[in-house]
Amino acid sequence: MKLLKDILYRVNIENVVGNTNVALENICFDSREVGNFTAYIAIPGTQVDGHDFIPQALEAGAIALICEELPSEIQDEICYVKVKSSHAALALMACNFYDNPSEKLHLVGITGTNGKTTTATLLHQLFINLGHKTGLLSTVVNKIQHEEIPSTHTTPNPLELNALLARMLEEGCTHCFMEVSSHALVQRRTEGLHFKIAVFTNITHDHLDYHETFDNYIAAKKILFDDLSASSYALVNRDDFHGEIMLQNTKAKQLSFGLKTMADFKAKLIENDFDGLQLNINGSDVWTHLIGKFNAYNLLCAYAVAEILEEEKIEILTQISQLTPVRGRFQYMRSENNITGIVDYAHTPDALKNVLETINEIRTGNEKVITVIGCGGDRDKSKRPKMANIACKGSDKIILTSDNPRTENPEQIIKDMQEGVEGTDFKKTFSITDRKEAIKTAVAFADPNDIILIAGKGHETYQVIGDEVLDFNDMEIISEFLTQFTSS
């Protein structure tokens, strides 16, 4: 059990009614999880307000209430704590409840529009190969060493996050690599965490349905760097000029990586094809199984993190050459007649552009590039025509289809995308609402040596249509059709 007064350490408190010298067995922000000896944190949310569920929490046995607005009726036996921000209070209380596990780990947080999952996952692989017990918190999966724990959010809520970090410590982990989303930063889910290194990969058009403006999106990412201590490191991609913005006002030691500009960690792309990449990193050559210039950035970033954490340079390069591609990130297969099928999570304009540029850099020019692309429903609508336009510029044939339409009409989403198709591209653009049928048609269009890109869903194994979550796996489906068409 923990004393409430100890769990409130560092929380911005405006008023206290009652005794904070009470013992707690649990803290939660969901009234349905309240039991005896529980502190309930009332969180104002986008859909519901936790303050509305205070009566249920008290009836269920809560003995402490943390809120932004005190209720009109005060019970003598309950401790009421009014705070400036319930979101921040939850995060700090979670850190304290689990004895601040982030302070006992080498915690590396990675933020940016593209590359977060790949970089975090590569670092997890790399540090296991370097002999460390290592944790991973990512969009695809959470891991403690090789044990997989399902992931529901890019960055978990503060209670889940600190519980996972505490478990990593119990299992002997010394390092943890985690994605840090802009949503999590704005919602203060990472408040109170101690990051040894914060990484900025890049920033491009995304999540404007949530942040509303690009400036707000940039400001959200910057929170990670603004909160760093003087003992931490801020590592940014110098080829993205927004990296300099991230460094403004940070107390951390500043370092950079890049392929184009002067940086502390510099790489040169020597060779890039479907067999892999050859890079020169800070004067040393390394070959890797990964493909594409965007992966050159991810690998360079992983190298930089490892060197900052005082790993041996030669050993880092040796283990980088053994790294394997991340599921759903430029994951590819070849059929018997040499058709290449690529599945990639590219769901932003910049990510799609990077993937298609990589394909067009590698191709000989004698084959077609066929792209299947959709956009998610109930998300940023402004990027839909941009995605279609980029697909047209980089492909010989384009099939517009569904991604996760959610509660929107998938045909309307496709119409929004069609606004980005220029007149000269009409003849090579097709619209097929059913994603499976779209993938089947792409395979039917393909001749030997052609390249098919299935973009947008990557590692996801589901399709969200209305309120239903249906089984759907791009890699399994294209594998099925490529086998079926080429063996018949």
Q: How far apart are CA 33 and CA 39, in angstroms?
A: 11
Q: How far apart are CA 398 and CA 432, in angstroms?
A: 10
Q: How far apart are CA 242 and CA 200, in angstroms?
A: 9
Indicate the SS3 state at residue 416.
helix
Both tokens of 22, joined, read: 């009470």
DSSP 8-state code for residue 379: S
Both tokens of 23, joined, read: 């013992």
Q: Is the separation of the CB atoms in 386 and 395 below 8 Å?
A: no
| pLDDT value at residue 212 | 62
Q: Is the separation of the CB atoms in 24 and 37 below 8 Å?
A: yes
Q: How far apart are CA 206 and CA 182, in angstroms?
A: 10
Q: Give φ, ψ of 457 to 5 degrees.
A: -115, -30
| pLDDT value at residue 215 | 87
Q: Is the separation of the CB atoms in 327 and 459 below 8 Å?
A: yes
- Type and span of the H or E element at 32: none
| pLDDT value at residue 222 | 96
| pLDDT value at residue 47 | 82
| pLDDT value at residue 484 | 87
Domains and CATH numbers, the chain: 2-97 (3.40.1390.10), 101-320 (3.40.1190.10), 331-487 (3.90.190.20)
Stated pTM of the model:
0.87
Q: How far apart are CA 314 and CA 132, in angstroms?
A: 17
Residue 156, judged by CB atoms within 10 A of its CB (0-12, 13-18, 19+), counts as buried
Q: How far apart are CA 377 and CA 486, in angstroms?
A: 34
Q: What angle do CA 332, 335, 336 make, to 5 degrees?
A: 150
Q: Is the separation of the CB atoms in 267 and 300 below 8 Å?
A: yes
| pLDDT value at residue 152 | 74
Question: For 131-259, where are the E strands, in sequence order?
Answer: 134-137, 141-144, 147-150, 175-179, 197-200, 233-237, 253-258
| pLDDT value at residue 127 | 98
Query: Residue ranges of the chain with pLDDT lower than 50?
Result: none
| pLDDT value at residue 365 | 86
| pLDDT value at residue 162 | 97
| pLDDT value at residue 210 | 57
